[in-house]
Structure 1
Amino acid sequence: MNARETFGGGVAVITGAGAGIGAGLARHAHRLGMSLVLADVDAAAIATLREQLVADGGSAVDVVCDVRDPDAVAELAERTYRDVGPVRLLVNNAGIEQFGYLWDTPVANWNRVMDINVSGVFHGVRAFLPRMIAQPDPAWVWNLSSIGGVAAVPLQAPYIISKHAVLALTECLRLEVQLAGHDHIQVQAVLPGAVKSNIFEAAGGVENTRAGTDVEAAESQRAAMLDIKAGAMDPVEAAEVVFDQSARGEFYLLTQPDYVGSAMVERAQVLTTRVPPQLRTKPRFDATKH
């Protein structure tokens, strides 16, 4: 089946829908004929997106939701099933970045990355998956990892760690769903390469909370990521690739299959040969190869 046959007419819930690949996934889901539940902490962003989709003949609602709060995510699920309908596609996408040396990272910044990027996915699974299991129709869960989920990158450790965790969470969840016999549920991991978003501008740096904090290193890494953004993939184009791969039944959904796939091969080789991580002359996230 193609993506329209698979997803068209269903309900998609997307966290972090206000910008970047989240907004791209929402726009392409709309093109496929899905009804959208747009969740984000940025009320203005999702309200604007909702207005655009509705003006284009779509069905969409916007819900302000902080994925760090399990009660808020549970309420998102309750509201969706009560007011919109059974969920065909859950996209746990909300995520943030953090730059700087790990030893300089403020505890609050570390907790924020983990609470959003990792716990936010867990809260989404816990709130929605039991309802999706209980419904008879096929349903999909997408958790957003990253090319960073199969890489080691300096000066972005909290983000990279979180994306490794999301990938492991998703792989384990797939096995658990299979073990429990829920054959109508498809769990899939999304690994974007560089996709245009505001994640780098919005990323935390290292506030000078103690003597010796290397703010310059953090800002240098942010600048490098912003340079890469100039050649990054359009979010709607990335979404189309992901939807097509999902409809084909693939597990690892790669926005740039060749480029992200090469990072996966490299990761496998590193683990097989046990070669220590090596510094690069330029960042792993080189978007010019998509």
Structure 2
Amino acid sequence: MKKISVIGSGTMGNGIAHVFAQHGFEVSLIDLKQDFLDKALATISKNLDRQVSKGLIIESEKTSALSNIQTFTGLSEGVKSADLVIEAATENMEVKLDLFRQLDQLCPAETILATNTSSISITKIASVTNRASQVIGMHFMNPVPVMKLVEVIRGYATSDEITKQIMTLSSNLSKDPVEVNDYPGFIANRILMPMINEAIYSLYEGVAGIQEIDTVMKLGMAHPMGPLQLADFIGLDVCLSILKVLHDGFGNPKYAPCPLLVNMVEAGFKGVKTGEGFYKYTKGSKDLVVSPRFSK
């Protein structure tokens, strides 16, 4: 496997492209507009600069990594010779199903199709292709260049051979792959999202304030970031989407999204990406300031 196509150049897509390119793979980064791709390349370059400044890589390795990335606004051109395609588009079922229908037609028969979905069924995605045994989940963690985990999710029909290849590939990226089976939320989000949801419920019910909740989890449970700050970082819309997948998939009320989370997303307060969630984010400032909407 040498040629990797990554669909989607947002936070996860550019991070995935970064890691593969840094490890010598030929990467085709695909998105709808060249502006999106230019922004992604600028982000990758900045993150590589950070690695150089920390002594993790040298300048020539940065140059080599950037030279390994080509950008495309056309899907067919970007995937026509791929050994592996990784879809990192928006966390929307219909968008993903449509993409995988197209990929099944456009890619060579031997191409492995992977998705970076954090919760959507691999089995469902694979069902719209004629290569279900070659469809798999590769759930990278954000920020991709830093986080070591890759959650490798087997769909119901994913073959042993493909799973083995993706586990080995992930290890070759200096990641730690963990194999799990395809059920709602997989492992990471099946455990993480109910915790975040419970933290939001605790705020909603007035048990404690934002900083108090986050401080308890940071100091008491040794979490590097409190659950409400983490929700902002992930994106409250993404958290809501995953909770809906869990709620629909299991039919269990314990996964029902907190009404406060629903209201915040509907009002457009989605966390870091919009500048305000549980905390307020000011460009250029690292200070963690509670949103004035939650001030006592």
Same fold (TM over 0.5): no
Structure ranking higher on relative contact order (CA contacts 8 Å, 6+ apart): 1
The two structures have a TM-score, normalised by structure 2, of 0.44
The two structures have a TM-score, normalised by structure 1, of 0.44
